[in-house]
Structure 1
Amino acid sequence: MGRATEYSVVLDVEDWLMIDATLDDELDRLSQEGWDQDDWGEPSRDPHWAELSELGLSVRQAGWAQVPEQQRNQRRTAGRAETLTPTARQWGLVVFALESRGSHQIPAGVRPEYVEMLKTTAARRRRIAALLRRQLAVGGLSQVPVVDTRGR
C-alpha cells in the first residue's frame, strides 16, 4: 500500500500551537476510551480507540517536526508561519477536534473571569478550522474526512 497523500497548509505558529493544545486535550480524553478486560482479566484496548490515539499523536509529532522547537517555546510567535503537511485523515482529526471543542457550551459554575477566555478560545478554534478547510480545498482536498472521536 502506498504512502497517503499529504496536504500542505501554511499556518501561523500561534495557530499551530492552538492545534497542538487542542489535540493534547483530545488525546487526554481518548486515552480513557475503549478499555476493557480480555478473557484473562487483563486490560485490553479496542483497536478503533487505539488507532484514533495513534493518529492524534502522529499529527502532533508531525507538527513538532515541522515547527522548530525554538519557535514552539517562544512566547512571541506572532507573524511566524510554517508549512505543515499532514495527510487527509490527520487533517480530518484536526478539523473535527477544533470544531467540536470550538462548539462546547461553557459549563455551569465556571468562574466569571474565565468565561470570556473560554469564549475567545472557542472562537479561535472555529476560525482555525475554517481556515484549514479553505486552505485544504485550495490544495485539492475539498472534502475533509470526518474523523469523529466522540464515538463509533
Structure 2
Amino acid sequence: MGEAVPYHEHPIVMEVADWTFIDATMDNEIQGLREQQWESKGAPHWVKMTEMAESIRQAGWDQLPDWPETYDGLQSWPPPGMTQAMKLTARQWGLVVSSLERWATVGAEEESSNEATNLRIAALIRDRFTGQATVRCPPSDLNGDSGGAALDQMT
C-alpha cells in the first residue's frame, strides 16, 4: 500500500454538531500544544503540531461559512441534523482522532460526560476514513513521533 499524498484532502460527512465538538477539542489541544511548545523552548515538533491543530480549526471555519461569530450565535447553531463533508488531509484527520481519544482519556480521569462523545466521533472518523482510504496514511500524534499511530489503525 502506498503513502498518502501529503496535501490531498479526504472528505468525511458528519453532523456539523460533531464538528463543533471537534473544534472545541482542537481548541483545548492547541492550548496544550502551546504549553509543550513553551516548555520545550520552541522545539520544531511542537511548533509544527500547533500549526496543524490551528489549521484544522481554520479549515472548519472556512468550510462552514455560516459559523456564528458569537457565543450566543453558537447556542442555536447548527440546526439539528445538519451535515457537511468536512475535508482535511490525512495528517490532520490523524491529529483529530488522536486528540479526541486523548481528551476521552482525560475526560474519564476527570469523570467528564464528554468521554463517550469523544470516542464516538473518533470511531466515526476511523470508520468513514477507512471506507475511502486506498493508501496507507501518515498519522500524527502528540508524543514527539511525526509518524505516530492514530491513522495507522485506520488503514
1:67 to 64, 68, 85: 64
Mapping of residues 116-135 of structure 1, within 5 Å: 118-119=112-113, 121-135=114-128
2:14 counterpart SS class: strand
Q: Provide Cα deviations, 1:65-102, integer angstroms capped at 9, x if missing partner.
A: 00123467442422111111110000000000001111
Higher Rg:
1
- Unaligned 5+ segments in structure 2 are 146-155
Number of aligned residues: 135
1:83-94 aligned at under 5 Å gives the runs: 83-94=85-96
TM-score by length of 1: 0.78
TM-score by length of 2: 0.76
1:22 and 1:98 in contact (8 A); partners too: yes
Q: 1:70 to 1:89 in 2, by over 3 A?
A: closer
Query: Aligned equivalents of 1:97 and 1:141: distance in 2?
Result: 24
For residue 16 of structure 1, what is the amino acid of its counterpart? W
SS in 2 for 1:68: coil
Q: 2:43 aligns with which of 43, 46, 53?
A: 46
Equivalent of 1:20 in 20, 23, 36: 23
Give how far 1:3 is off: 6.3
The CA deviation string for residues 23-63 of structure 1, in whole angstroms up to 9 with x for no partner, is 000000100113369xxxxxx51111000000000111001
**TM-superposed deviation, 1:149:** 1.3
Quick one: structure 1 residues 142 and 123, their matched pair in 2 at CA, closer, same or farther if it must change by over 3 Å?
Answer: farther
Query: 1:34 aligns to what SS in structure 2?
Result: helix
Q: Given residue 58 of structure 2, which amino acid in structure 1 is its aligned partner?
A: Q
Identity score, percent? 35
Matched position secondary structure for 1:83: strand
Aligned to 2:153: none
1:35 correspondence with 2:28: no
Label 1:71 to 1:132 Cα distance change in 2 as closer, same or farther (>3 A): farther
AA aligned to 2:82 is R
Match of 1:9 in 2: 12
**What is the aligned partner in structure 1 of residue 151 from structure 2?**
none
